[in-house]
Every structure is written in C-alpha cells, then in structure tokens.
Amino acid sequence: MTLLTKLHVDITEDLGLDKCPYRLHSCRDPRANATKVCWILQLNPYLTHVTITELALKDTRDVRLLTTSIFELKSLQHLSVSGIFILQSAPRLGPTIFFSCPSCLQTLTLKLVGSFAFWEGASSHNYYRLPPESKDSWEKGDEECGLTTTPYRKEPLTRMTSLDLKGMEEAFSEQDFLLMLEHCPNLCDIRIPDIRNVGDTFLLAEMIAGSCPKLTNLTYRDHCEGGTDGYLIARVMGALPPQQVKRLICGDRPFNIRNPDAATIFQKHSSTLQTLSLGRCEDVPSKAIQMVLTQCRGLEIFETRWAGQRGDLCIDLGDAIEFPWACTRMRTLRLTVAVPDEPLYRHIGEEPYYMRPPPTTLSAAEQEQFDQLEVLYRQIGELVEIQTLELSAVFYDPNDRRPFSFRTGANTFPGMLSTGNHRSGRPGYLHHLGGLTKLRELAGSVSAETGETKVTMGLIEAHWMNEHWPVLQCARFFRSQSNITNSFKWLQNQRDGSNPLSLSWN
C-alpha cells in the first residue's frame, strides 16, 4: 500500500490481539512497533490524515525515526500522536515533534505520557521482546538509516488552526511554548499544556494573545503538577480582542478566577460565547454566573462543577431571578443554586407544608420563598432547546449558624417536580417546565426519595412527564432500580424499546 491518504494505527494493548485479522509476528514487541509504523508512513507520501495511538517510544532512535517520517509527509494536514515515552533521558518530545511537522499541517494533537517501568516490565503488560539476535532486515543501524539528527522545520505553520497539547504529561517551558506559538499565527483552537516556572502570567497571556490573535477556542489542561499560575487561560481570554472567544473549557482540576475578574472577562466575550464549561473553578462569584445567564445570548453549553463552597460556582437564588435570562438557546445546563434553608427546607416549629392536612395554609415567609422559586422555575422553563439539565440545590443558613448541605443529589427544589394539588391548596410548579419537549437527561437535585417528593410525586406527575417530555431518556429520580415506585414503573413501560427510560443512578 503506497497511495494511502488516511491512516489510523492503534497499538492499544487491550484491543484483543487474537481477533486481529492483520496480526504481525512482532506486533507485541514495543521495539519493533515504532520501526514498522514509520516504515508504513514512509511508504505512503500522500498521507493527509494520520492518527497513531499508544505508540511506545523507547529511545532517541525511535524519536528520530518518527519525526523524520512525519517531516517527509509533505501533504499532511491532520496529525494525532498518543503514546508512551520510556526514555530515561527523553528529549523535549512535544517541541521536537512540533518542529518536525510539515508546513502544510492544519491540526496537531499530542498526548504523550511517561512510563519508565513499561519497558522493564513488558511481560506484565502482555508484551514480549524478540531476542536481540532476531533483528530483522529492516532494523538497520542509525548511521545506515541517516538517523543522526532530528529534522527541524523553520517555516511557520500558517495553515495551523488547532493545537491540542493538554494531554501531555511532559511539562513545557515558557520559552518552548511561546516559540511554538510564534509559528502558529492563525491558530483558532488551543488546548493549554502544563507550563512550568511561569514568571509573569499577565505578560505570558499578552504574548500568547499577541502570537495567536485569532484564538476563539480555549481549553485548560487536565494535567498539572503545580508550578503554573491557574489564572493563565482566563488572562489569555482577557487579553484577546473583545467579542471573539467562542469556547472556554476548564477541566476538573482546581482553577482560579478571582472576583471581580470573572464577570469582566466573561462579559468581554458575552456576544460570542457558545460554550462555557467551568470545572471546580474557585472564586467564581454568583454575580459572574448571573452575568453569563443574563447577557450571553448565544450560549449553548453552560456547565459549572460546584467546588464545594457556596461562593465557588454557585449562584444565589436572588441573583438567579433578579433579571431575565438571555441564554434561551442553551442545549446543556449544569448549574448549582444556593437557596436559603428556611422556611421550606428546614421546618422549625411546624409540620412541612406537604404534611399538613388540607386545606394547605402557607405562612407569609413560605409563600415569599415559593414566589422566588417559581421565578427560577419559569426561567428554566423558557430554555426550550435544552436537552441536558442538571440543576442542583445547595441549602444554606442565611445567618451562618448551620453548615450548608453538601449532598446535592439528595436534595430537591421545593415544588418543582410536582403538579400540586389544587383541591387541597398544595403548590406545585411542574407545569412551568412543560416547554422542555427536547429534554433528554434530567439530573441534580431531583430525587424522588426525599420526604417531600415521596408525597408530592406520583402517578399524576408520571402522566404529565410522559406527555410533555417525550424524548426523555434519563432522569436521576431513584438511587437504584429496586427503589423505583409503581407510578414511575408505569412511566418506563410507556416507552418502547427504541426510546428506553432510565430513572435510577445505576
């Protein structure tokens, strides 16, 4: 085969080697794999798309062989390399591979992790090594192959639009990273790697934005062992021209944007933001989340992973209902709302409203809190494009006398999942969610096993959901399948095999 244009080589250990129809004699020898993969690359000079998965790079020769093979692919547009480097004294693999890429490259993804024990214990990984004397004819010496140096491209990658380095276990120096970005003037999508020993984060952010002024998609690295200022990606966002960034994604690692920077940074791109995913970010205040909900009209995905403190990625109920939401195009929403625990969550001195004999009489304070919550439910009900909704409640003491509730999955929003009982006067607000006809997944504080929902969610609610949520596939109402009540078993039975409905966590 010498005319391939697309090639995906996967050497993943658990693919089931015995079932592979093209099994090579040496396929389980990491020493041979790099050589044979590069041999295939060199046979096919017209390759435009190359993906190499789980390649073991055992020494400098493998690195030189791989980079030389890549360098010679003059039509290459998309390259993805994931592998394991097992060199005790490895070269800077990220920059080395980057500067071996041909100038026509458009996208590059690198995911390289170190595992020095891999080669020592190869047999325990279901690999074996061929004996040294079995060297095949294609395993020539370095000088015979011309592998005395690694290639180095000097031309900029003017067609490069996407650079994904977030899966790199190898740390990048500030100098290496900036040198790479200087070669990518038209970069739009970047996934930040682990950068060590950053001097001035503001200056680095300005230099990144200056080298790549067209950036629209920013992704924060998943792997970081420390030494890097976690504000970097937010400051890059702040340094770019206004109304340009479309996507900001931060992983589940701690990530800080200090008040009031968050609201200012998000507002700067409020008309262009389409995806905002904040994983365990610290110091993102309620007002910043309010700004996103009320000003980012084009937002389609908004995800916040509550960091465990009320002030971190948690919007206060008062801020959530103060102004109308503008992001009515949202398809995915994961949001945590802080709700005062009195009077509806903590019922001091009297029975909770749902346990009182009819007619149900609410105190002035209870009615006021229900009125506030109803505004929130109406806001949610206007998100008619929503497909995934994870709405979590954190109940807190306004006077800070009690700790707030950590187990959001065991909470429920008062009256949200009930149609109410007009005859007894018991309130219910499920009808406000009747426009969510595209809803597929419902999670968060939606337990049907709390003291309230055991009384207020039944067959009437199941009938309502069957009518108004026709494509619902998953609702986290019950802890296990055995806990599902007969009313909701009826709901499951209404769906045919092509549209099954899961109502439990497992």
Give yes or no for a contact between 250 and 277, defined as CB atoms under 8 angstroms apart.
Answer: yes
Residue 399 pLDDT: 87
- Both 92 and 216 in a single domain? no
- Of 241, 262, 278, the one marking the end of a domain is 241
Residue 498 lies in a domain: no
- Both 105 and 127 in a single domain? yes
Mean predicted confidence (pLDDT) in 171-187: 93
- Both 182 and 46 in a single domain? no
- Both 106 and 198 in a single domain? no
Residue 320 lies in a domain: no
Burial grade of 152 (CB within 10 A; 0-12, 13-18, 19 or more) = exposed
Mean predicted confidence (pLDDT) in 180-193: 95
- Both 150 and 5 in a single domain? yes
Confidence of residue 128 (pLDDT cuts 50, 70, 90): very low
Residue 254 pLDDT: 45
Residue 251 pLDDT: 67
Residue 60 pLDDT: 85
pLDDT at 504 over 50: yes
Residue 423 lies in a domain: no
Residue 7 lies in a domain: yes
- Both 151 and 123 in a single domain? yes
Which of 158-167, 200-209, 303-312 has the weakest average pLDDT?
Answer: 303-312
Which of 275-279, 393-397, 438-442 has the weakest average pLDDT?
Answer: 275-279
- Both 183 and 235 in a single domain? yes
> CA distances (Å), 432 to each of 58, 301, 381, in order?
61, 21, 5
Residue 465: Cβ within 10 Å count? 24
Residue 450 lies in a domain: no
Burial grade of 126 (CB within 10 A; 0-12, 13-18, 19 or more) = exposed
Confidence of residue 18 (pLDDT cuts 50, 70, 90): low
- Both 110 and 205 in a single domain? no
- Both 148 and 176 in a single domain? no
pLDDT at 127 over 60: no
Let me know how long the chain is: 506
Report the C-alpha gap between 64 and 38 in whole angstroms: 10
Residue 104 lies in a domain: yes
Nearest to 469 by CA among 413, 426, 417: 417
Confidence of residue 124 (pLDDT cuts 50, 70, 90): very low
Residue 250 lies in a domain: no
- Both 116 and 164 in a single domain? no
Residue 21 pLDDT: 60
Sign of the CA dihedral with 96 first, then 100, 104, and 106 last: negative
If you ran DSSP here, which 8-state letter would residue 16 be given? -
Residue 48 pLDDT: 98
Q: Tell me which residue range forms the domain holding 209.
A: 158-241
- Of 241, 269, 289, the one marking the end of a domain is 241
Residue 44 lies in a domain: yes
- Both 68 and 80 in a single domain? yes
Domain count of the fold of the chain: 2
pLDDT at 97 over 90: yes
- Of 241, 264, 299, the one marking the end of a domain is 241
Confidence of residue 228 (pLDDT cuts 50, 70, 90): very low
- Both 121 and 210 in a single domain? no
Burial 164-188 (b: 16+ CB within 10 A, else e): bbbbbbbbbebebbbebbebbeebb
